[in-house]
């Protein structure tokens, strides 16, 4: 372990000294984060690793101050035929309320330049003729959202009250609430989540940098593949989980610890989570190192390994090899109804969904389904690279449907049918129950004005195309004979409004099952049925739940989404 630490120090020093490029040691570490299949895929779809941008990050998390500070060195190559006059970076925490990420001391090839920041866009003046490389360095400082204890309680989000009515609505990263973030750049008593946490290279298409500001719904970032070598210092006793190869966590000065990760071919910032409560387990499954970090002890970590292992086996057999040598999973505190967050090589799951969480309100099977969904994102978006902001229905519907397929491979057809009813179709039914009309699926995230419509259409209706008349299997064979039929089906489900007809009426059984789980109501009913009495605390829980549920429900019933086309 000490050896690894020495290697990293050497690698970072070598890069910095050269003032440019990436050292051979670093290139080797990055290459080792990909399996041979992943390396071949990356090379044929993007570029050889040596030509991809590389971010070197050294940072420190201060949980008490809710701050993260550090240095970034970004080596970027102009692989286009036209010269570049600027390089655009994105600082996504600037799009959140109460969070920010500022850059200072921006240098190109060691020379100070004046970068222009506006919103999440940081434009760095830099002359890069075709085929040349530049090293951009800067310091950054970020203000994280502060979470208080219990703020990730599913009941604390209004949309989660709805989830009590129809758990599908809490959605699996459906992220239905818009007034406050999802806790993806946040710290609380149970740890920190660092998504899009340092300045990252903007995506580039048709010779133009992506400068579009994200809306409040869905995933904020969109990026092209690059590599990252990241070292994060945390207080002693905290453990860090992250994407890519884990190069170890070691004591440093002042009683702190530094954890280091390396990953090639990842989109956006290398994601991290840190917590004083993590129990960690590692296992080799289906040719991939699985690392689990749970807030629910060894049993919790074991459950993460089991669901991720099942998802990997099923999805690799169905959709081709997972590209990296490691996949990390971590439980985190998420808010705003997010059940999970996908990052390349890293799946985050809301710890509140864990069946091991006391008083968990998640429906049975929801934790596993969310786990399958987030692992499936490794293919849909991670590898395929659709734009989650402009085409959210593509990766979300495929992740949803893939989770149904993993359920089928792991637990059988009956369980898959149940999962489809409760965790997919119920999103649509919940939307309709709240008097929101059916609408067009194929819209950018910021054209959905209501979280309910977003959840109902993107997580509910859109995925059901995949199963309709064998659409997905025919589409993946790219069968020219059926091309017209497939296009017609796709139009029907994703462009037109036949949801009520195609999905059918609300499945009462699914709703009851969804209502079941650990909800305070059902516990109360069960207690009353069993011995004709209920304890004080059960009554209190049920009343508390009812109080939170009612205003939101009545608001929704009076105020159906006015923006439905
Ligand atoms: Zn998702």
Q: In this structure, are residues 72 and 137 in contact, taking their beta carbons and an 8 Å threshold?
A: yes
How does residue 110 score in pLDDT terms, banded at 50, 70 and 90?
very high
Residues with CB under 5 A from ligand 1 (ion): 173, 396, 399
pLDDT in tens, 528-556: 555 555 566 666 665 565 555 545 444 44
Percent of the chain with pLDDT over 70: 81
Q: Is 307's pLDDT higher than 60?
A: yes
How does residue 437 score in pLDDT terms, banded at 50, 70 and 90?
very high
CA 479 to chain centre: 32
pLDDT in tens, 514-533: 655 445 555 555 555 555 55
What gap in Å lies between CA 328 and CA 331, rounded to an integer?
A: 10
Give, in degrees to the nearest 5, the angle at Cα 286 between 280 and 291: 15
The residue ranges of every structural domain in the chain are: 376-466+475-558
Q: Which of 17, 357, 334, 386 is nearest to 151 (CA)?
A: 334
Average pLDDT, the chain: 84
Q: How many CB atoms lie within 10 A of CB 38?
A: 18
The rounded Å distance from CA 390 to ligand 1 centre is 14
Higher pLDDT, 444 or 337: 444
pLDDT in tens, 310-345: 999 999 999 999 999 999 999 999 987 788 999 999
Q: In this structure, are residues 350 and 152 in contact, taking their beta carbons and an 8 Å threshold?
A: yes
pLDDT score of 18: 43
How does residue 170 score in pLDDT terms, banded at 50, 70 and 90?
very low
Q: What mean pLDDT do residues 443-453 have?
A: 86
Structure tokens at 223: 């990026």
What gap in Å lies between CA 467 and CA 404, rounded to an integer?
A: 10
What gap in Å lies between CA 194 and CA 328, rounded to an integer?
A: 14
Give, in degrees to the nearest 5, the angle at Cα 247 between 58 and 43: 90
pLDDT score of 438: 94
The rounded Å distance from CA 535 to ligand 1 centre is 38
The rounded Å distance from CA 1 to ligand 1 centre is 35
Structure tokens at 203: 């995506």
How does residue 21 score in pLDDT terms, banded at 50, 70 and 90?
confident
The rounded Å distance from CA 29 to ligand 1 centre is 30
pLDDT score of 517: 46
The rounded Å distance from CA 377 to ligand 1 centre is 7
Q: Which of 281, 304, 283, 460 is nearest to 374 (CA)?
A: 304
Q: In this structure, are residues 503 and 512 in contact, taking their beta carbons and an 8 Å threshold?
A: no
Helix ranges restricted to H, 85-166: 158-165
The rounded Å distance from CA 454 to ligand 1 centre is 12
The rounded Å distance from CA 93 to ligand 1 centre is 20
pTM, entire model: 0.85
Q: How many CB atoms lie within 10 A of CB 97?
A: 10
Structure tokens at 165: 């009515």
The rounded Å distance from CA 129 to ligand 1 centre is 38
How does residue 84 score in pLDDT terms, banded at 50, 70 and 90?
very high
Q: In this structure, are residues 374 and 348 in contact, taking their beta carbons and an 8 Å threshold?
A: yes
pLDDT score of 514: 63
Q: What is the DSSP letter of 459?
A: I
């Amino acid at each position: 372990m000490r050896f690894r630490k020495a290697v990293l120090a050497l690698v970072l020093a070598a890069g910095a000294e050269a003032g440019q490029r990436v050292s051979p040691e670093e290139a080797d570490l990055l290459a080792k984060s990909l399996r041979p299949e992943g390396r071949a895929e990356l090379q044929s779809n993007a570029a050889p690793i040596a030509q991809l941008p590389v971010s070197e990050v050294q940072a420190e998390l201060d949980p008490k101050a809710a701050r993260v500070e550090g240095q970034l060195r970004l080596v970027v190559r102009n692989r286009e035929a036209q010269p570049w006059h600027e390089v655009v970076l994105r600082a996504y925490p600037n799009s959140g309320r109460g969070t920010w990420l500022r850059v200072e001391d921006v240098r190109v090839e060691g020379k100070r330049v004046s970068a222009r920041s506006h919103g999440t866009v940081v434009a760095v003046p830099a002359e890069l003729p075709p085929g040349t490389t530049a090293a951009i360095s800067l310091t950054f400082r970020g203000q994280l959202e502060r979470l208080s204890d219990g703020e990730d309680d599913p009941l604390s989000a209004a949309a989660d009250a709805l989830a009590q009515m129809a758990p599908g609505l809490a959605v699996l990263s459906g992220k239905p609430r818009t007034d406050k973030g999802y806790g993806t750049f946040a710290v609380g008593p149970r740890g920190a989540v660092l998504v899009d946490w340092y300045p990252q290279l903007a995506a580039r298409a048709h010779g133009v940098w992506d400068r579009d500001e994200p809306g409040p719904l869905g995933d904020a970032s969109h990026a092209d593949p690059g590599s990252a070598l990241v070292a994060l210092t945390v207080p002693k006793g905290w453990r860090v989980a992250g994407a890519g190869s884990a190069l170890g966590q070691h004591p440093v000065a002042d009683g702190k610890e530094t954890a280091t990760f390396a990953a090639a071919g990842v989109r956006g910032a290398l994601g991290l989570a840190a917590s004083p409560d993590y129990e960690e387990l590692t296992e080799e499954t289906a040719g991939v190192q699985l690392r689990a970090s749970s807030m629910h002890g060894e049993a919790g970590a074991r459950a993460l390994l089991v669901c991720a292992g099942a998802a990997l086996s099923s999805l690799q057999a169905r959709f081709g090899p997972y590209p990296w040598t490691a996949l990390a999973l971590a439980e985190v505190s998420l808010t705003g109804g997010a059940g999970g967050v996908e990052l390349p090589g890293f799946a985050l799951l809301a710890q509140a969904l864990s069946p091991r969480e006391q008083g968990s309100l998640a429906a049975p099977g929801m934790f596993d389904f969310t786990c399958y969904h987030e692992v499936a994102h490794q293919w849909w978006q991670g590898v395929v690279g659709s734009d989650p902001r402009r085409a959210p229905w593509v990766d979300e519907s495929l992740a949803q449907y893939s989770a149904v397929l993993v359920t089928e491979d792991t637990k059988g057809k009956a369980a898959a049918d149940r999962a489809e009813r409760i965790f997919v179709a119920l999103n649509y039914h919940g939307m309709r129950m709240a008097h929101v009309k059916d609408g067009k699926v194929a819209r950018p995230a910021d054209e959905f004005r209501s979280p309910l419509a977003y959840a109902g259409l993107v997580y509910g209706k859109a995925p059901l195309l995949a199963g309709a008349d064998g659409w997905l299997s025919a589409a993946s064979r790219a069968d020219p004979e059926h091309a017209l039929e497939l296009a017609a089906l796709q139009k029907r489900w994703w462009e037109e409004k036949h949801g009520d007809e195609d999905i059918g009426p609300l499945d009462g059984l699914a709703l009851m099952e969804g209502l079941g789980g650990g909800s305070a109501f059902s516990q109360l009913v069960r207690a009353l049925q069993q011995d004709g009495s209920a304890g004080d605390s059960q009554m209190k829980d049920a009343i508390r739940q009812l109080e939170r549920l009612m205003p939101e429900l009545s608001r929704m019933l009076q105020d159906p989404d006015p923006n439905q086309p």
